[in-house]
Structure 1
């Protein structure tokens, strides 16, 4: 039973980490495009303001993944931390995408 909880915790932690890295990657791409474009200063400033959120959620997701190497109690804490970091990162990514969505 302990192994099953460990595997489930690891999968959830990896999913949370992927969500956080997705947000950071999107900010990196958006910031790069804004810096290359004339008049992109407001977007670049917005991106610089969002980096603490991306860094914090990535760090929390990495910590959650580290927790999954411990026992069942740490697995549960890792699950909670990964779900929290992943949901915050996903919400922040959607917010950024909605703000700068074009086309459609």
Structure 2
């Protein structure tokens, strides 16, 4: 869903150079990264249903860290901030990873 919203936004020439802050991206700057983390945690929960499955906990922990703090979000945002000046305001009011209501003001 996040990809489709972004595709439609980019397809409209009126949005050139603008920041998508509607739809899923109103609540989180990276809905796909959050979704990926949820998949990893879901797989971990499935693994917990078998003996010793809980030892796989390092996989979702590592992937969540990589997406939110490692090579995912930080690298992507550096490039966006350089190309779109309005991105700084978007960062100020929108959660970076967890879907949360936007900040006011």
TM-score by length of 1: 0.40
Q: Which structure's residues are more often helix, by fraction?
A: 1
TM-score by length of 2: 0.40
